[in-house]
């Protein structure tokens, strides 16, 4: 196993190091510095591909209008923090040909665009080529397992993590990175290499610059969903109805929604009619099976708790799993 090197200053960026005595103090100093720029975990939000946060909500945080949610107590975060060093040690063990550097308590800040900041889990030095690469460590819950596989079942880096690693390559100028991830499937962590792609680099740099302009100029970005609207406008500020008949995009949106809503109603009406026909077929039985499907109309009783007591029959439709003849 090769000896670790210090985080390198390979040009194009400088390193901010947190040297407070206690780990908690270093963590707090790092947290306070997050509003000085855009970090890697922010990149999927900036690009609009995050499931957990919108650009508007991130903008509120970066402009100091709203405190970020404290997620330190969430199990996924607790688990990730607990395993990060173990996974880094494991990666170092299986790659004795490389020198692995811990990126904790340091932030890489790009010189020409200081709002671009990278907090690396680690850095990889290849002595044979002299090149450095990004090490990004992940722990994935079983519910996110599908994000790590394409339609053919082959491993892939999820888009939201690919955006993060690409952003780190943009900050450092390095050519490659490794995503090392425990997929919580009982197997060895997986290792996926990410090569620098200049088109992707341009895309994340452009998105980061645009978003940071919104922050520095205090310009609100577009809303993405209902949560953004409710956050900004808990109640209407105008009792009037805005006429947008001259806005072609809005007209198209209204018509598309009307079409989908009508189609959904037609589908619901058709479903109800078919459901009634199946209930008639069931009659006094508990259920019926045909064509690999099962329809049931079972009796139920619900005691009085928070709601009135009730009883009756409940319809259900499913495609049961095939069982062997010996199964009941």
CA distance 241 to 271: 36
pTM greater than 0.85 (yes/no): no
Q: Can you list the domains of the chain with their CATH numbers?
A: 13-228 (3.90.320.10), 248-318 (no CATH)
Give pLDDT tens digits for 150-179. 888 899 999 999 999 999 999 999 999 999
The mean pLDDT value of the chain amounts to 89
Going by C-beta distance under 8 Å and a sequence separation of 6 or more, which residues neighbour residue 53? Answer: 45
pLDDT, residue 140, reads 84
Give pLDDT tens digits for 106-131. 999 999 999 999 999 999 999 999 99
Confidence of residue 254 (pLDDT cuts 50, 70, 90): very high
CA distance 272 to 278: 10
Please choose, from the candidates 133, 284, 139, the residue with its C-alpha nearest in 3D space to the C-alpha of residue 194.
133
- Say what angle helices 198-216 and 55-62 make with each other, to 10 degrees: 50
Q: Do strands 117-118 and 310-318 pair parallel, antiparallel, or not at all (unpaired)? A: unpaired
Question: Does residue 3 have a pLDDT over 60?
Answer: no
Burial, 9: exposed, middle or buried (Cβ in 10 Å; 0-12, 13-18, 19+)?
A: exposed
Please choose, from the candidates 65, 81, 91, the residue with its C-alpha nearest in 3D space to the C-alpha of residue 4.
91
Beta strands in 171-280 (DSSP E): 176-182, 190-195
pLDDT, residue 328, reads 43
CA distance 281 to 300: 19
């Amino acid at each position: 196993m090769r000896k670790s090197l210090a985080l390198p200053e390979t040009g194009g960026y400088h390193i901010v190091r947190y040297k407070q005595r206690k780990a908690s103090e270093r963590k707090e100093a790092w947290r306070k510095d997050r509003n000085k720029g855009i970090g890697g975990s922010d990149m999927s939000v900036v690009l609009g591909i995050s499931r957990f946060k919108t650009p508007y909500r991130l903008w509120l945080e970066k402009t100091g209008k709203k405190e970020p949610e404290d997620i330190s107590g969430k199990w996924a975060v607790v688990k990730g923090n607990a395993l990060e060093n173990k996974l880094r040690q494991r990666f170092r063990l299986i790659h004795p040909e490389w020198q692995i550097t811990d990126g904790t308590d340091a932030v890489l800040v790009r010189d020409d665009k200081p709002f671009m900041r990278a907090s690396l889990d680690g850095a990889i030095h290849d002595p044979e080529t002299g090149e450095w690469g990004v090490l990004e460590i992940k722990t994935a819950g079983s519910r996110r397992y599908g994000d790590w596989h394409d339609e053919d079942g082959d491993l892939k880096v999820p888009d939201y993590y690919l955006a993060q690693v690409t952003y780190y390559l943009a900050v450092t100028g390095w050519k490659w990175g490794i995503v090392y991830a425990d997929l919580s499937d009982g197997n060895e962590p997986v290792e996926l290499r990410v090569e620098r792609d200049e088109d992707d680099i341009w895309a994340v740099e452009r998105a980061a610059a645009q978003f940071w302009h919104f922050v520095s100029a205090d310009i609100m970005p577009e809303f993405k969903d209902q949560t953004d609207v409710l956050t900004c406008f808990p109640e209407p500020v105008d009792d009037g109805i805005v006429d947008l008949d001259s806005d072609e995009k809005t007209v198209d949106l209204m018509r598309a929604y009307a079409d989908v809503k009508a189609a959904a109603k037609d589908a619901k009406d058709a479903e109800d009619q078919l459901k009634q026909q199946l209930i008639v077929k069931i009659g006094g039985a508990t259920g019926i099976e045909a064509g690999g499907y099962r329809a049931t109309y079972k009796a139920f009783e619900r005691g009085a708790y928070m709601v009135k007591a009730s009883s009756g029959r409940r319809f259900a439709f499913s495609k049961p799993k095939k069982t062997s003849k010996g199964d009941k």
